[in-house]
Structure formats: structure tokens, C-alpha cells
Amino acid sequence: MISFKQLRYFDFLAATGHFGKAADRAGVTQPALSMQIRALERTLGGPLVERGASGARLTELGERVAGRAATVLAGVRDLEELAFAQGETLSGTLRLGIIPSVAPFLLPSLLGRAATRYPDLLMSIRETITATLVEELVAGDLDAIVASLPLDHEEIEEAAAFDDRFLLAAPA
């Protein structure tokens, strides 16, 4: 039987094209990820990836499975969000990505308020550049991001959180 873990790992591999990078995203060792991919291949009856020195390339079956796996994973995230929204208070884990230029200014206040208002909410923070945040949001690795607008990505709904004026200062 196919496991959710196998689908997640395969989704990471399909997105990165590299076992090591996929393992980093999954937070596991490369051998552990590889073992789950092999088990998935056995269950499905064929190779999903062609392994090479420079990475992994999806086979024809792998391409078809990757599309369906992404759909299944998105459906599971939707179910989690539905259950999350039904609770009286926010709980669970919120995976938030933020750009380094605003993180030191926003996070102390945000984390303090969230801890006070939502004590059952765990926040996982990922600080990196906008392009990586967008990629991880679309892949489902993050729940929300704080980045500079516009993002102009068809799979992302964006809204301005605040306006920040930049000032030029010079000695008089």
C-alpha cells in the first residue's frame, strides 16, 4: 500500500530532481528517502526515476505519478486546513516563510502576539529569499510567506500587509 510519507518524499524528489536536496526538504537522510522511493516503485510496479550521477530524472511513469501525487497531497492539505479552521483556537503548526530584510523587524512582535493569543499554535519559521519562498509555498512546504510584492504567480493569492516608506537621509 502507498503511504503518505512515500508520496511526500516522491513529491520532493520530483520538485528538486535530486535525492540529497529532496532529503533535505523532507528532513531525513538521503538513504531513508531513497528507501521510501524504492518501496513506492515496488508498489507501483515500475521505476519512477532514472538515477544518475547528476541527479534523478522522472521516467514517463514517474511524470504521471508526480502529477497525481501532487493532487493527493494538495487534497490532504485542504483537509488539514478544514479541520484547522473548525477549531475554536488556532492550533497545529503554521509554516511561515519570511524574507531576511524584514524578519528582524516583524518576527519579535509577531511571535510574541501569536504565543499570547494562540498558545496551541506552533510556528515554524523559514527565512530565505523570495524566489525560494515562492517555490516552497507552491510546493506546499510553507503555509504562508512574507515577501515583497508583487509576486505575480498564478498559484498564489497575495495581499499587502503594510506599506513601508523608504527614506533617504543625508547630513544637513
Instruction: Please state which of the four CATH numbers 3.30.390.10, 1.20.140.10, 3.40.190.10, 1.10.1740.10 is assigned to the domain occupying 87-146.
Output: 3.40.190.10
Stated pTM of the model: 0.53
| pLDDT computed for residue 169 by the predictor | 79
| pLDDT computed for residue 166 by the predictor | 64
| pLDDT computed for residue 60 by the predictor | 95
| pLDDT computed for residue 113 by the predictor | 83
* pLDDT tens-place string over residues 80-123: 676 666 665 667 788 999 998 888 888 888 888 888 888 888 88
| pLDDT computed for residue 3 by the predictor | 85
Residues of the chain with CATH 3.40.190.10: 87-146
Q: Which stretches of the chain drop beneath a pLDDT of 70?
A: 80, 82-90, 162-167
Beta partners for residue 58, in sequence order = 49
CATH number of 4-78: 1.10.10.10
Residues of the chain with CATH 1.10.10.10: 4-78
User: Which pairs with CB-CB distance under 8 Å and at least 24 residues apart come from 65-71?
Assistant: 65/10, 66/10, 66/11, 66/14, 69/7, 69/10, 69/11, 69/14, 70/11, 70/14
Directed axis angle between helix 19-26 and helix 30-44, to 10°? 100
Closest CA to 11 of 72, 60, 54, 79: 72
| pLDDT computed for residue 103 by the predictor | 84
